[in-house]
């Protein structure tokens, strides 16, 4: 399977269930290292990034098994603190294991996570925080050698940017540190609260997760626990946009609308019909898809950067011109050249994309440049007349469970080749 083929312009209809959140399951699987007994994590999506996390856990000496959408981890026999370079390269976000490994063993060796498709992905905020908590960090030949000779102790951390990964790593390092850690200007994404819920269910003492100040009182031990991962809000928006772009009507289940407010208001602003229930919603396009004059990506609860490519793809079919300002990543527009191959009219200048709506997209061969850019191409291909062939689909497989099967269920003519 190296390509996704779509014969587009078919209105989607029906209903699907939304997967567990990729960006929550990764830090939660890392957090299982800190528990002294076997943990069961439910609603884990079947994604290549999750499979890489399982490989890392096994590499560390943990017992790890998947049963359907439940991943069970027992780290009592963990005997390693090094993540091999190939696994670090396979998944950039494996840097979130750093805080958990150091928190468990007092040591860690990881290769410096390279940049990724979104541009440089520095981890200076992660490292300076761990350093304040007693971790000595030496960078040599592309590897980071971390060691806490006196063990980890609590510290007061002021993040200059509310980094999701840095907030997660600090929490993971702090839960069993001596004393209290306070994170000021912490990230507030729902995935942070989900990580804290998992850890607190195992006996951690974390307060304020989801706000900009998080308090972690270090504890001696963490027990066994079970936890179910929150729904993936970005996957949810991807299916919503595909229904709007194909002028269909779908229902998506197993969502948490409260995690999606900034995105839902954008669908309202573009004239969509939305019926929102406790854990599901129904969406269809209005009489016409209205342009959205200005959208800017912000940290939570603002409009999430990960939904940017999906929404830009949708607005290629709007009536009028929209503008998107990307404030989080330096290089998030690489997929736009691929979208333009399907007839999209988009101009970019720095962090600004100007999207001039067209009446119809036309299928074309293209390739995914990154996870969400790839998803944007799938949405465009579903709306486009004729055939779209998407290459480099490994990017998409990182974050979307059963993508092709789900769209087939909704009536799309889509298949792997």
Q: Report the catalytic residues.
A: 116
**Local structure of 182: helix, strand or coil:** strand
Figure out which of the listed residues 19, 32, 52, 93 binds ligand EPZ, where binding follows CB under 6 A: 93
Figure out which of the listed residues 33, 125, 148, 195 binds ligand EPZ, where binding follows CB under 6 A: 125
Told to check if 372 binds ligand EPZ by CB under 6 A, we report: yes
Interacting span for ligand EPZ (CB under 6 A) from 19-27, 60-68, 285-293, 351-359: 19-27
Q: Please, which of residues 398-417 interact with ligand EPZ by CB under 6 A?
A: 399
Going residue by residue from 222 to 261, which x/- string records binding to ligand EPZ, judged by CB under 6 A? ----------------------------------------
Told to check if 123 binds ligand EPZ by CB under 6 A, we report: yes
Interacting span for ligand EPZ (CB under 6 A) from 64-72, 78-86, 136-144, 299-307: 299-307
Query: What's the CA gap between 229 and 37, in Å, rounded?
Result: 19
In this structure, are residues 135 and 119 in contact, taking their beta carbons and an 8 Å threshold?
A: no
Interacting span for ligand EPZ (CB under 6 A) from 71-79, 121-129, 213-221, 334-342: 121-129
Query: What's the CA gap between 348 and 330, in Å, rounded?
Result: 13
Closer to ligand EPZ at the Cβ: 19 or 23? 23
Figure out which of the listed residues 165, 231, 257, 374 binds ligand EPZ, where binding follows CB under 6 A: 165
Query: What's the CA gap between 23 and 42, in Å, rounded?
Result: 14
Put residue 119 in one of left, alpha, beta given phi > 0 → left and psi -120 to 50 → alpha. left
Told to check if 122 binds ligand EPZ by CB under 6 A, we report: yes
Told to check if 23 binds ligand EPZ by CB under 6 A, we report: yes
Q: CB 302 → ligand EPZ: shortest distance, Å? A: 10
In this structure, are residues 344 and 358 in contact, taking their beta carbons and an 8 Å threshold?
A: yes
Going residue by residue from 126 to 155, which x/- string records binding to ligand EPZ, judged by CB under 6 A? x-----------------------------
In this structure, are residues 17 and 83 in contact, taking their beta carbons and an 8 Å threshold?
A: no
Query: What's the CA gap between 347 and 370, in Å, rounded?
Result: 19
Q: CB 157 → ligand EPZ: shortest distance, Å? A: 12
Closer to ligand EPZ at the Cβ: 161 or 416? 161
- Taking Cα atoms as reference points, which of 95, 53, 58, 61 lies closest to residue 78? 61
Put residue 164 in one of left, alpha, beta given phi > 0 → left and psi -120 to 50 → alpha. alpha
Closer to ligand EPZ at the Cβ: 10 or 372? 372
In this structure, are residues 160 and 125 in contact, taking their beta carbons and an 8 Å threshold?
A: yes
Told to check if 16 binds ligand EPZ by CB under 6 A, we report: no
Site size toward ligand EPZ (CB under 6 A) is 25
Interacting span for ligand EPZ (CB under 6 A) from 11-19, 81-89, 298-306, 347-355: 298-306
| DSSP structural state of residue 386 | S
Q: CB 328 → ligand EPZ: shortest distance, Å? A: 5
Closer to ligand EPZ at the Cβ: 166 or 384? 166
In this structure, are residues 298 and 162 in contact, taking their beta carbons and an 8 Å threshold?
A: no
Query: What's the CA gap between 139 and 83, in Å, rounded?
Result: 15
Q: CB 181 → ligand EPZ: shortest distance, Å? A: 17
* 3-state secondary structure labels for all residues of 279-327: CEEEEECCCCCECCCCEEECCCCCECHHHHHHHHHHHCCCECEEEEECC
For Cα atoms 82, 88, 90, give the angle at the middle one, nearest 5 degrees: 140
Figure out which of the listed residues 34, 166, 311, 383 binds ligand EPZ, where binding follows CB under 6 A: 166
Put residue 134 in one of left, alpha, beta given phi > 0 → left and psi -120 to 50 → alpha. left
Closer to ligand EPZ at the Cβ: 166 or 209? 166
Query: Which residues here bind ligand EPZ, judged by CB under 6 A?
Result: 22-23, 26, 93, 121-126, 161, 163-166, 187, 189, 304-306, 328-329, 371-372, 399
């Amino acid at each position: 399977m190296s390509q996704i083929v779509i014969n587009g312009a078919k209105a989607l209809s029906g209903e699907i269930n939304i997967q567990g959140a990729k960006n929550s399951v990764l830090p939660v699987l890392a957090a299982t290292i800190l528990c002294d007994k076997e943990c069961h994590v439910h609603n884990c999506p079947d994604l290549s990034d999750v499979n890489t996390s399982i490989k890392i856990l096994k590499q560390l000496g943990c017992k790890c098994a998947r049963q359907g959408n439940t991943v069970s981890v027992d780290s009592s026999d963990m005997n390693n603190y090094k993540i091999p370079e190939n696994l670090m390269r396979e998944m950039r976000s494996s840097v979130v294991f750093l805080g958990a490994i150091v928190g468990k063993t007092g040591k860690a060796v990881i290769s410096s996570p390279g940049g990724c498709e979104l541009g440089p992905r520095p981890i200076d905020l992660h490292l300076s925080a761990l350093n304040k908590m007693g971790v000595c960090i030496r960078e040599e030949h592309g590897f980071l050698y971390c060691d806490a000779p006196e063990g980890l102790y609590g510290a007061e951390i002021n993040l200059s940017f509310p980094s999701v990964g840095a907030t997660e790593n600090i929490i993971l390092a702090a839960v069993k540190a001596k004393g209290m850690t306070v994170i000021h200007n912490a990230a507030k994404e729902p995935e942070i609260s989900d990580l804290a819920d998992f850890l607190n269910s195992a006996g951690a003492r974390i307060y304020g997760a989801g706000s900009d100040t998080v308090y972690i009182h270090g504890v001696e031990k963490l027990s066994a626990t079970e936890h179910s991962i929150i729904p993936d809000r970005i996957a949810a928006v991807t299916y919503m946009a595909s229904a709007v772009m194909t002028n269909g009507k779908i229902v998506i289940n197993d969502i948490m609308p409260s995690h999606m407010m900034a995105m839902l208001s954008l669908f309202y602003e573009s004239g969509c019909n939305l019926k929102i229930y406790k854990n599901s919603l129904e969406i269809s396009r209005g009489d016409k898809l209205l342009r959205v004059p200005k959208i800017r990506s912000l940290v939570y609860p603002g409009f999430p950067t990960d939904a940017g490519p999906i929404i830009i793809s949708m607005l290629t079919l709007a009536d009028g011109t929209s503008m998107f300002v990307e404030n989080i990543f330096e290089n998030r527009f690489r997929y736009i050249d691929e979208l333009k191959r399907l007839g999209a009219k988009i101009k970019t200048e720095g962090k600004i994309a100007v999207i001039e709506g067209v009446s119809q997209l036309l299928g074309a061969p293209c390739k995914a440049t990154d996870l969400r850019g790839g998803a944007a191409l799938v949405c465009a291909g579903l709306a486009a007349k004729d055939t779209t062939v998407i290459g480099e689909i490994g990017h998409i497989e990182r974050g979307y469970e059963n993508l092709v099967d789900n769209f087939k269920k909704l009536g799309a003519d889509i298949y792997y080749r």
